[in-house]
Structure 1
Amino acid sequence: MNKTTFKLVGLALLGVVVMTSCVKKKKEAVDPIDTSSMMHAVTVNKTIQASAYTYLQVNEGDQEYWIAVNKMEPVPGQTYYFANSMEMKDFKSNDLDTVFASVFFVEDLSSSNEPKPAMANPHGEMGRKVVEQDESIRVEPAEGGITVASLFTNKADYAGKEVLVRGKVVKVNNGIMNRNWVHIQDGTGADGQYDLTLTTTEVIAVGDTVTMLGTVAVDKDFGAGYFYDVIIESAVVK
């Protein structure tokens, strides 16, 4: 290789290194929002109301992002505070028919900067007794199905398997993480666990008695403290 060729190759390699460095810098330029328990102070720029949530476009310092809170009437331009949140990426709001590239679900938005308790699960499942037991419910299991008590008692045996369950719908949260979260009870329980959560894309109303088939997941951790001892996923009405 002569000197001229060597120089050309060297310059080409240097160009690749420079370009690679530029790409890396570009990727690292946007810092993620800290979703730990530190206190955040945000100013409201824009508000969109949906049936269950209020979506707010906010500024925190030089960062602009979306948060979602339980229905409220925020004041544009006012500063609000929160300490705990959970980020949902590519989140679709069925109410708004809109996909948010990123939205932070916030439980404790306040006009005061006093610390608040940790964020509760928006699916209503932080702890076993968030959904109260309806002692009037008595639902017979479907043919070939199992009871809520049997599922919780023998969860290890059912893990990863399809099961058929029947119960009365006591709570529904629609459009979270691109699925609907349905709580059923059948009047049975084990070790204080009487409320069973199923995820589905079907629309189901509170008060309905439904028979559903889905796959059992145990010790399911969605992150940010969203943990289920037992949950039935991808459930369909039978």
Structure 2
Amino acid sequence: MKKIALALLLGASLYAATPHTAKVLENMNSGGYTYMKVDDGKNTYWIAMTQRDVKKGDNISFTEQGWMKNFHSKTLNRTFDNILFAGDASTSGHTQETIQFKPDILTSQYKMKNTLTVAEMFKNREKYVAKNITVRGKVTKVSSGIMGKNWVHIQDGSRFKNMDDLVFTTAQNTPKPGDVVYASGKLAKDKDFGYGYFYPVIIEESNFRK
């Protein structure tokens, strides 16, 4: 259970949560956690979250915190090939509950010449893979010394498919929350750090200047 708790705790600190809606096909409680097999209309998979009242047939909305491969639950005595750790769950037993996407905002008041917006990073990630990019925005969170890296969250008021928080990793000194900075680094997509830490977009080898 320490492994689950660590995944959920760090996930809350590091992830830009990705929203999902799915139907519960199976569920079981064990060790203070609820495990559910769900169908989101495209894929069927297992998710885990802190224990809650849910039943087969419920529609559940939740945010993605990270995938883990070959996860073994000691209390269930079962190994899951792939399981998604999730949070921010809400359920509906009668009507289909869907994630409401806010309108996309591709521009930013912080954007300057030769910079890109957070929304542009998410929307056009294929275009910028392995390229050095610069975003100007406000630091919203800093997590230091996790997996040998410092993790800096940047927002600039732009948004694409509800994604508005871009994570930069660095081994250097970091700015403080509230600072407005130019954040530069190399873009990676679908980055899997292991232990369930998966990012659709992340900026690595980053540096910051005001």
Shorter-chain TM-score range: 0.5 to 0.7
- The 3 A distance-change label for structure 1 pair 212 and 120 is closer
Deviation digits for residues 159-192 of structure 1, max 9, x if unmatched?
1000011110111101112221000100001011
Asked if residue 168 in structure 1 is aligned to residue 138 in structure 2, the reply is yes
State the shift of 1:204 in Å. 1.4
Residue of structure 1 in register with 2:3 after alignment: 84
**Residue 158 (structure 2) aligns with:** 188
| Residues 1:215 and 2:134 are matched in the alignment | no
Q: Which residue of 2 aligns with 1:127?
A: 17
Higher relative contact order structure (alpha carbons within 8 Å, sequence separation ≥ 6): 2
Structure 2 letter corresponding to 1:148: V
Matches within 5 A, 1:37-186: 82-84=1-3, 106-107=5-6, 121=11, 123-125=13-15, 127-128=17-18, 139-186=109-156
1:203 aligns with 2:93: no
Which one has the bigger helix percentage? 1
Question: 1:226 maps to which residue?
Answer: 197
Q: In structure 2, the residue corresponding to 1:156 is in which secondary structure? A: helix
* Letter in structure 1 aligned against 2:3: N
- The alpha-carbon distance between structure 1 residues 120 and 202, as it changes in their structure 2 partners (threshold 3 A), is closer
Q: Structure 1 residue 219: deviation in Å?
A: 0.3
Q: Is the 8 A contact 2:152 2:174 kept in 1?
A: no
5+ unaligned residues in a row in structure 2: which ranges?
19-62, 66-101, 103-107
Q: Contact 2:16 / 2:163 at 8 angstroms: preserved in 1? A: no
Number of equivalenced pairs: 123
- The residue type paired with residue 235 of structure 1 is S
Say whether the 8 Å CA contact 1:126–1:227 is kept in structure 2: no
Structure 1's 126 and 196: CA in aligned 2 closer, same or farther, altered over 3 A?
A: closer
Indicate the RMSD between aligned Cα atoms, in angstroms.
2.6
Greater per-residue strand proportion: 2
Tell me the secondary structure at the aligned position of residue 121 of structure 2: helix
Q: TM-score, normalised by structure 1?
A: 0.47
Aligned partner of residue 202 in structure 1, secondary structure? coil
Quote how far apart the aligned CAs of 1:229 are: 0.5
Tell me if structure 2 keeps the 8 A contact 1:168–1:184: yes
Deviations 1:87-119 (A, max 9, x none): xxxxxxxxxxxxxxxxxxx538xxxxxxxxx66
Structure 1: runs of 5 or more not aligned:
1-81, 86-105, 109-117
Q: Which stretches of structure 1, 4 residues or longer, exceed 3 Å deviation after superposition?
A: none
CA distance 1:202–1:139, change in 2 (3 Å): farther
In our comparison, the structure showing a higher alpha carbon Rg is: 1
Matched residue SS, 1:107? helix
Q: Is the 8 A contact 1:168 1:210 kept in 2?
A: yes
